[in-house]
Amino acid sequence: MLILHELQRWYEKAGLPSGAVNSQIGALDEVPKRRPDMKKNSTAKKSPKKALAKGQKKQICQLAAKQRLTIGLDLGDRTTRYCILDEAGEVVSEDQLPTTKTGLDSLFAKMPSSRIALEVGTHSPWMSRHLSGMGHEVIVANAHKVKLITQSVHKNDRIDARQLARLARVDPQLLSPIRHRGEEAQRDLAVVRARAELMEARTKLINGARGLVKPMGERLKRCDADGGTAEAVRCRSSEGRAGGGIE
């Protein structure tokens, strides 16, 4: 209302008819309102890929109940490629799944006992134990001794998974299988390796500190690395000369 009143005063000062403001406001009121947007009617399925994956997994489980399947796994840090063969050696399914326990469970948890071959690597210890716990026969292949895989001209994840499956189906000994340590032994070994890494890092730090002060004409005191303290590695030239701290 205040804006309308100011417009009327401005029109009167300009010598325009007083009804001009009302006519302009009325013209704005007559602007047709925008029609509401129409809703889209879509008959497409929301997740056909997921529905297809569930149906495919069900078919694989049904087939595994009738015949023994052989599966090759090419392990990756984030995803694992798999190839499933039937008893005749025909490819039943090829795809990939996450390199996690949940990813393995999604395909192998409900599958009847099958033969699974995988390459030795970072993830092979826990994966082999996890798959064995589901009742599957697990073969951990030493790929460095399998020339068909290491010296292949055409090499990728899909081909490696297929080669593992075919070799495991014919004769598992062709994969030069190995056996991983148990989970408890692996944990103990991890502690030993972690301690060795820490000791190596500590030695590098001490040697680095000594190397930094030598160009300055100073030397650090001798100290036992196992019981060394900040005071033992502190550079004090006066104490070094007076107390025999020079090495």
Q: Considering only CA atoms, which of 127, 122, 121, 158 is closest in space to residue 142?
A: 121
Instruction: Examine the pLDDT at 71 and tell me if it is beyond 90.
Output: yes
The model's pLDDT over 30-52, given as tens digits with 9 standing for 90+, comes to 555 666 655 555 444 544 445 44
R_g of the chain, CA atoms, integer Å: 38
- Residue in the structure block whose two tokens are 């403001």: 21
The model's pLDDT over 18-32, given as tens digits with 9 standing for 90+, comes to 555 555 555 555 555
For residue 31 the two structure tokens come to 């602007």
Whole-number pLDDT of residue 13: 63
Q: In which band, very low, low, confident or very high, does the pLDDT at 236 lie, cut at 50, 70 and 90?
A: very low
For residue 218 the two structure tokens come to 């100073």
Q: pTM for this structure?
A: 0.63
26 or 55, greater pLDDT? 55
Domains and CATH numbers, the chain: 56-178 (3.30.420.40), 194-242 (no CATH)
Amino acid residing at 91 = V
Distance of CA 18 to the CA centre of its chain: 74
The model's pLDDT over 193-233, given as tens digits with 9 standing for 90+, comes to 999 999 899 888 888 888 888 888 888 877 766 655 454 44
Q: Are 21 and 8 a contacting pair, CB within 8 Å?
A: yes
Beta strands in 51-208 (DSSP E): 70-74, 79-85, 91-98, 115-119, 137-141, 177-178
For residue 173 the two structure tokens come to 């000994």
Q: Strand pairing of 137-141 and 115-119?
A: parallel
Whole-number pLDDT of residue 47: 45
Amino acid residing at 198 = L
For residue 25 the two structure tokens come to 């406001």
Segment holding 22, helix H or strand E: helix 19-29
Q: Are 52 and 60 a contacting pair, CB within 8 Å?
A: no
